[in-house]
Amino acid sequence: MRSTRLGFVRLLTAVFGLFVTLVPAILGQHGPEQIVEKAAPAVALLLIGKSPTELDGIASAMVARENGVLLTAYHVLKGAKALQVRFKNGEVFDNVSLLGVDSRRDIAAIRISASGLQALPIASASQAKPGESVFLISHAAALPWTVSSGSLSAYRLADEVPGAGSGYRLFQFTARASPGSSGGVLIDSEGRALGLVVGALEGGQNLNFAVPVESVIGLAEAPEALAFDSGAQLELSLSQPAVQEPVAMILEKPRPAAPREGEETASDDFERSEVLKSKDKSFILANFRTLWVDTKDAQFFGAQQMQAALGRDKNFLTLGVTIVDTPSIADVVLEIGYTFAWDYPFSLKHVNSGIVLVSGKGSGPFSGAAGAASVARELTKLLKPYRTKKQPPS
């Protein structure tokens, strides 16, 4: 009798264990670990080169078709000369072609010579509800296959998001995203691809945005538009893109604001005085000497990193401008902000009058370092006509 009871207990235990194992699968419910493990092979790492031998940055991409079609953020491909695609299992593809582009939604389709790839099922955007749990798989901060979790905040028109454009919808989510997350895949609680990361906003905690996959999946059927150069020689650097870089130029020491009694005014102080008093943009742009960097709104890089980028730009060094470390001795201030999709609008202002002398926009889809370098290049282009012996433009 005792052995019969013992056998019955063992049977109940086995049935209960089978029930615990099968019910979640039957109901389509999976834990976070299972979701991420299943989805990760469908997320690729992109190495993007400004030449076939020089890595410019990294991004993420999602397998859209088993026959080698992937989707990624379009802004990461702008200016790219060579591409390389890597998967979590170690496979690498060096020959990549561009297919269709949806510039409004900032999504592009690319193709590699592969078949049998793992593609994720696609979630319906209309069925996604705010508050649902989501997971982001990307290569944030150059750390491959980084996973973050959060919730879906909203499904809103891009018109409501500063800098995002108009005429389409976006998912807003709280899972952490960093440079390198562009093109990353937003996964729902059932392991389906919900969105592709295209940008973020500053001024709050984790205001990140993704384009619904179902609205751009048609790009996978587009014909080949162009072929990138081989990315066979591109190598991944695991350096943290957000780390501050050393200042590449000597900062000017503060000077007295006015000469001492009985001392003659130096010619350079006289010229600076004329610059500070002037309200003529062309005169100021042609004659200012000192520049202070204000990056409090840049989000992904600081003043030292911006100074370093200016110091490495050979064209900027020919302009005769000295970077100073305090606004009290600056003729002009370079103010840099951040909007969306890692864009960095900037303006050069006259310290005394607040006049905007020039303005533009840099972009850094891969890291703060890339953003700072882009701002340096764009600023130099705007200043160069004024800092030569030619007549400055009106």
pLDDT in tens, the chain (394 residues): 555 555 554 655 555 455 444 444 443 455 778 888 899 999 999 999 989 998 888 899 999 999 999 999 998 898 899 999 999 999 999 999 999 999 999 999 999 999 999 999 999 998 899 999 999 999 887 789 999 999 999 999 999 988 888 999 999 999 988 777 899 999 999 999 999 999 888 655 678 999 999 999 999 999 998 999 999 999 986 553 432 222 222 222 222 233 333 333 334 455 567 788 888 899 999 889 899 999 988 878 889 889 989 989 999 999 989 898 888 888 999 999 988 778 899 999 998 888 999 999 998 776 677 889 999 999 999 999 998 754 444 4
DSSP one-letter string for 126-174: GG--TT-EEEEEE-GGG-TTEEEEEEEEEEEEGGGSTTS-SSSEEEEE-
The pLDDT assigned to 81 comes to 92
How far the first Cα of the chain sits from its last, in Å, is 105
Domains of the chain by start residue, with CATH = 35-230 (2.40.10.120), 274-386 (3.40.50)
Closest among 304, 298, 234 to 57, alpha carbons compared = 234
- Asked whether the CA dihedral 341, 342, 343, 344 is positive or negative, the reply is positive
The pLDDT assigned to 5 comes to 57
- Our measurement of the distance from residue 299's CA atom to the centroid of its chain's CA atoms, rounded to an integer in Å, reads 11
CB burial of residue 85 (10 Å; 0-12, 13-18, 19+): buried
**In the chain, at which residue ranges do the beta strands (DSSP E only) sit?**
43-51, 54-65, 69-73, 82-86, 92-93, 96-102, 107-112, 133-138, 146-157, 169-173, 185-188, 193-201, 207-212, 226-227, 229-230, 290-294, 322-324, 332-336, 343-350, 356-363
The pLDDT assigned to 270 comes to 53
The pLDDT assigned to 61 comes to 96
Q: Are 182 and 80 in contact (CB under 8 A)?
A: no
The pLDDT assigned to 271 comes to 59
Q: How far apart are CA 94 and CA 307, in angstroms?
A: 35
- Our measurement of the distance from residue 242's CA atom to the centroid of its chain's CA atoms, rounded to an integer in Å, reads 11
Closest among 294, 312, 315, 327 to 369, alpha carbons compared = 312
Q: How far apart are CA 214 and CA 58, in angstroms?
A: 24
- Our measurement of the distance from residue 78's CA atom to the centroid of its chain's CA atoms, rounded to an integer in Å, reads 13
The pLDDT assigned to 256 comes to 29
Q: Is the pTM of this model over 0.85?
A: no
| Tokens representing residue 202 in the block | 């500053």
The residue type of 300 is F
| Tokens representing residue 240 in the block | 């943290």
Output the CA torsion 84→87→90→94 (10° steps). Answer: -20
Q: How far is CA 385 from CA 6, 276, 285, 347, 376, in A?
A: 92, 21, 9, 17, 15
The pLDDT assigned to 363 comes to 85
Q: Are 360 and 378 in contact (CB under 8 A)?
A: yes
The pLDDT assigned to 236 comes to 82
